[in-house]
Amino acid sequence: MVGAFRLLLTFLMTLPSSIGCLGLCICLRAEVCNIIRSSPSYQRGHHHHNDYEDDYKKGLAILKIQDELAALNANICQLNIQRRQVLNDFLDLKGNIRVFCRVRPITMGDNCYLLRPVVSLDSSRLALNFAKNKSKIYSFDKVFHPSSSQDEVFEEVEPVIKSALDGYNACIFAYGQTGTGKTFTMEGTADHPGVIPRAMEALFKQAADSNHPFLFSFSMLEIYMGYLKDLLVPRTTKATEHMPPCMTRILMTCFDANTRRRITNKIWMVDLGGSERVLKTKAMGRRFEEGKAINLSLSALGDVINALHRKNSHIPYRNSKLTQVLKDSLGEDSKTLMLVHVSPKEEDLCETMCSLNFATRARSIHLGNEESNVRQ
């Protein structure tokens, strides 16, 4: 019997308050509550006498919270659209191909009397000093002083990383002669992590904060003697004398439940081989062939950079494995960042000048208006 009255009370609680018999409903609710309270079963469990009223109030509170969450989600989507637009405008103002320069710090083995050629003037310029008081000023989007930390470097790199989750392909590559700190910048150490581990952490965090699910896949490749090698496959061969281009690729697939679409973008982070001339290394035999293969890849990259700079109708992407792989990350729908590394040593002056000239040509390239896969 009490159960029947409880059902009746539940029904009365669900009646809309806008009907004309509101007063009658209130009276009926009160009468039913009195009957339930007077029942023996209620006397044994009197501490539950407000259960149904509490459930009703909780239901109203839940509905209110759901409405607030829906409004917040709509607001977040709008803010994400605005954030993506601001980030894209910011990168466009900086240029489609941004160029940073990092000067290697002085090490214990360096002769302090031979460290005068490269001087960082400010955050965007450096001077290359020649003999007879002659010098040349180079301007880049950012110049990192030898004392700059890994944190400072990644703070400037991070906007390009985040653009990958907003629907753009991205490419970050370190360029410069051997021994200028390219691997330290890209990979770092356990105590001073570089761009690659920090980028992965930033991508995972941003994906976790997104209102879309993401699937990540990770690859590491090496271009050795013109062939691609998967570095995640165990090998028994000896390490090479020259460091060939090491390429880290992160694929990001976004699942949009509303449109039932899957959108995939990629980010390449490339530690290029040393750009020094083979004759300078005095290598012979296999080392000579390895160095020559690296230079051919870098030369092909230079040809692509020059063709983009001249706005040629034909871009020679197929001239090397390196440019074939990076083709869709050097096009109009991509964000590209070049980190040129230079040595402070006087004996490396010629190589430093070649690296800076190459970076200057890259900085002058405008890839065109990007069209991304918009995500909310």
pLDDT in tens, 4-16: 445 444 544 554 4
Boundary-marking domain end, from 86, 113, 145: 86
Q: Which of 163, 192, 178 is nearest to 273 (CA)?
A: 178
Question: Is 43 within any annotated ligand binding site?
Answer: no
Domain contains 19:
no
CATH code, domain with 252: 3.40.850.10
Residues 216 and 73 in one domain: no
Q: Which of 73-82, 114-123, 308-317 has the lowest mean pLDDT?
A: 73-82
Burial 308-337 (b: 16+ CB within 10 A, else e): bbeeeeebebebbbbbebbeebbbebbbbb
**SS3 of 83-137:** HHHHHHHHHHHHCCEEEEEEECCCCCCCCHHHCCCEEECCCCEEEEECCCCCEEE
Q: Is the pLDDT of residue 173 over 70?
A: yes
pLDDT of residue 335: 86
Question: Is 183 within any annotated ligand binding site?
Answer: yes
Residues 76 and 180 in one domain: no
Residues 146 and 68 in one domain: no
Domain contains 8:
no
pLDDT of residue 264: 87
Domain contains 66:
yes
Residues 82 and 175 in one domain: no
Taking the model in full, what pTM does it have? 0.70
Question: Is 177 within any annotated ligand binding site?
Answer: yes
Q: How many CB atoms lie within 10 A of CB 172?
A: 26
- For the segment 289-312, the average pLDDT, to the nearest whole number, is 83
Question: Is 240 within any annotated ligand binding site?
Answer: no
Question: Is 181 within any annotated ligand binding site?
Answer: yes
Q: Is the pLDDT of residue 129 over 50?
A: yes
Residues 69 and 99 in one domain: no
pLDDT of residue 370: 44
Q: Which of 40, 3, 196, 173 is nearest to 102 (CA)?
A: 173
Domain contains 42:
no
Domain contains 7:
no
Q: Which of 18-32, 123-137, 234-248 has the lowest mean pLDDT?
A: 18-32
Question: Is 182 within any annotated ligand binding site?
Answer: yes
Residues 66 and 146 in one domain: no
Name the band, by pLDDT with cuts 50, 70 and 90, for residue 371. very low
**What is the amino acid identity at position 365?**
I
Write out pLDDT tens, residues 178-226: 889 999 999 999 999 999 999 999 999 988 888 788 899 999 998 888 8
Q: How far apart are CA 281 and CA 242, in angstroms?
A: 10
Q: Which of 58, 57, 13, 60 is nearest to 33 (CA)?
A: 13
Q: How far apart are CA 9 and CA 53, in angstroms?
A: 9
Q: Is the pLDDT of residue 253 over 80?
A: yes
- For the segment 10-26, the average pLDDT, to the nearest whole number, is 48
Per the CB < 8 A criterion, the answer to whether 258 and 212 are in contact is: no
Residues 197 and 61 in one domain: no
* Residue that is written with structure tokens 């501490």 in the block: 47
Domain contains 23:
no
Name the band, by pLDDT with cuts 50, 70 and 90, for residue 244. low
Residues 82 and 124 in one domain: no
Residues 272 and 161 in one domain: yes
Boundary-marking domain end, from 38, 62, 86: 86
Residues 265 and 285 in one domain: yes
pLDDT of residue 69: 77
Question: Is 176 within any annotated ligand binding site?
Answer: yes
Question: Is 66 within any annotated ligand binding site?
Answer: no
Give the H or E element holding residue 220: strand 214-224
Domain contains 63:
yes
In the chain, how many domains are there?
2
Q: Is the pLDDT of residue 148 over 80?
A: yes
pLDDT of residue 287: 72
Boundary-marking domain end, from 26, 61, 86: 86
Domain contains 127:
yes
Residues 358 and 224 in one domain: yes
Residues 223 and 190 in one domain: yes
- For the segment 24-34, the average pLDDT, to the nearest whole number, is 54
Name the band, by pLDDT with cuts 50, 70 and 90, for residue 96. low
Q: Which of 194, 164, 170 is nearest to 182 (CA)?
A: 194
217/35: higher pLDDT: 217
Domain extent at residue 66 = 51-86
pLDDT of residue 8: 46
